[in-house]
Amino acid sequence: MTNDKKMKILQIVPSISLIYGGPSQMVLGLAPALVKEGVEVTILTTDSNGDNGQAPLDVPLNRPIKQDGYEIIYFRCAPFRRYKFSLDLLNWLKCHAQEFDIAHIHALFSPISSAAAIVCRQQKIPYILRPLGTLDPADLRKKKQLKQLYVAIIERQNLAGAAAIHFTSAQEAKISERFGVDTPDLVIPLGVKKEEKENIVSQRFNIPAEIPLVLFMSRIDPKKGLNLLIPALEKLLEIGYEFHFVLAGTNPQDPNYEQKIKFQIQNSPLRSHTTITGFVTGELKVSLLQSADLFVLPSYYENFGIAVAEAMVAGTPVLISDQVHIYQQVLDSESGWVGATNVQSLIELLQEALQNPAECRRRGLNAQKYALQNFSWDAIAQQTIQAYQKILANK
């Protein structure tokens, strides 16, 4: 590749539907930032829009769509819709891979990503794998036997053949399982964008402005620590603390767990102090993040925690567990509170935050300053391009 030729990058991701949350959406933040730095970007993805009978995305298929300076090509999710597979995508990749300099593949243990890595090796195009937290030992324990088989047959070879493994935090890189593979690490965080929206939360949900708003905004999943947060909040009510709790999120993969959490709150003293919004996006999402006095995510494991970064850039202090892998940055920048994954730790930190509104505001300002400096898409695009250039120079 000559210096005057634009780098041509493929971003391959099983889905970019909003319903799958930050990890999937990340490419829609990265792509325009890369374009701004002079790189040509094409995203390959499927029309998948949920795993429980939801209609697919209403998008044109099999042809490039211009968007924010880059191209995006959607392919029909078939024949295995539940696993976001697409024969059409793979056939397109076989025909066109050699037109590109490098492929950035987002997801492991996903049939389309695994097959795309195999095609890239066959076509001799270097590729980067971003595991999205799936190499975390805690995540690998889920469906352990199936994953061990998947690794043995497919994923170990994909990892060994990759030019780099893209981790989004140093902690994720440190604890991730490598299966004996010594592929280089690439640590680049996810990005967030600062947005300003009118406060529509109080009016929409009739929440008194003078009562502290505690926000959980993430996928409603067992790993997110709601089994710790709900009893901790119940205890605070019992000892006389005033607050309003907003639970924002959904779980398209496990609606039964989502219903279980809703039922638990509806049959708890929390019910008259809680608003359950479901999945939020756009103006309401930004307004919730800005309006919150405290953002809480006590996850059992989280390779980055994009919602944490979104809260920080909105100027909201965060209360997270030490299993959210950007916890050290939160501690070092005094952007919030970090505790253990147990109810008592949460109770103590929630008490400290709720009885010190001035300290909440100070940490919220710190959070915003840190996020703007370290999680801006411009900075992340520059780091990513440098990584691409290094890989191509070593080809």
- pLDDT of residue 274 exceeding 50: yes
Of the candidates 186, 379, 377, 218, the one whose C-alpha atom is nearest the C-alpha of residue 289 is 218
| CA pair distance 337, 28, nearest whole angstrom | 30
Residue 123, SS3 per DSSP: coil
Q: What is the mean pLDDT of residues 99-108?
A: 96
pLDDT for the residue 98: 96
Comparing 8-17, 146-155, 157-166, the range with the smallest average pLDDT is 146-155
pLDDT for the residue 209: 84
The amino acid sitting at 124 is: K
- pLDDT of residue 2 exceeding 50: no
CA 356 to chain CA mean position, Å: 30
pLDDT for the residue 185: 96
Cis before residue 79, ω within 30 degrees of 0?
A: yes
Q: Are strands 294-297 and 318-321 parallel, antiparallel or unpaired?
A: parallel
**In sequence order, what DSSP letters do the residues of 3-62 get, joined into one string?**
TTSPPEEEEE-S---GGG-HHHHHHHHHHHHHHHTT-EEEEEEE----SSSPPPP----S
Question: Do 113 and 12 contact (CB within 8 A), yes or no?
Answer: yes
The overall average pLDDT reported for the chain is 93
Question: Do 334 and 359 contact (CB within 8 A), yes or no?
Answer: no
pLDDT for the residue 4: 62
Q: What are phi and psi of 108, to 5 degrees?
A: -115, 165
- pLDDT of residue 82 exceeding 70: no
Question: ∠83-249-240 over CA atoms, to 5°?
Answer: 145
Q: Spell out the domain ranges in the chain.
A: 8-191+377-393, 201-374
| CA pair distance 41, 63, nearest whole angstrom | 14
| CA pair distance 187, 165, nearest whole angstrom | 8
**In sequence order, what DSSP letters do the residues of 300-337 get, joined into one string?**
S-BSS-HHHHHHHHTT--EEEETTBTTHHHHHHTT-EE
| CA pair distance 11, 277, nearest whole angstrom | 32
pLDDT for the residue 144: 87
**In sequence order, what DSSP letters do the residues of 161-224 get, joined into one string?**
H-SEEEESSHHHHHH---TT--PPEEE----B--------HHHHHT--TTS-EEEEES---GGG
Q: What percent of the chain has pLDDT over 70?
A: 97
Q: What is the mean pLDDT of residues 168-192?
A: 93
Comparing 48-52, 176-180, 212-216, 222-226, the range with the smallest average pLDDT is 48-52
- pLDDT of residue 80 exceeding 80: no
pLDDT for the residue 3: 52
Question: ∠84-87-90 over CA atoms, to 5°?
Answer: 100
Q: Could you read off the pLDDT of 108-148 as tens digits, one per residue?
A: 999 999 999 999 999 999 999 999 988 988 888 888 888 88
Q: Which residues, listed in sequence order, are joined to residue 301 by a DSSP beta bridge? A: none
Residue 109 is classified by DSSP as S
Q: Could you read off the pLDDT of 341-383 as tens digits, one per residue?
A: 999 999 999 999 999 999 999 999 999 999 999 999 998 999 9
pLDDT for the residue 25: 77
Burial label for 210, CB within 10 Å (0-12, 13-18, 19+), is exposed
Give the sheet arrangement for strand 336-339, strand by strand: 274-278, 244-248, 213-217, 294-297, 318-321, 336-339
Class of domain 8-191+377-393 (CATH, top level): alpha beta
Q: What is the mean pLDDT of residues 309-321?
A: 97
What's the first-to-final CA gap in the chain, in angstroms? 10
Q: Which two tokens stand for residue 82?
A: 């539940």
Q: Is the pTM of this model over 0.85?
A: yes
CATH number at 201-374 = 3.40.50.2000
User: Is 201-374 in the same CATH topology as 8-191+377-393?
Assistant: yes
Structure confidence at residue 295 as a pLDDT band (50, 70, 90):
very high
- pLDDT of residue 216 exceeding 50: yes
- pLDDT of residue 1 exceeding 70: no
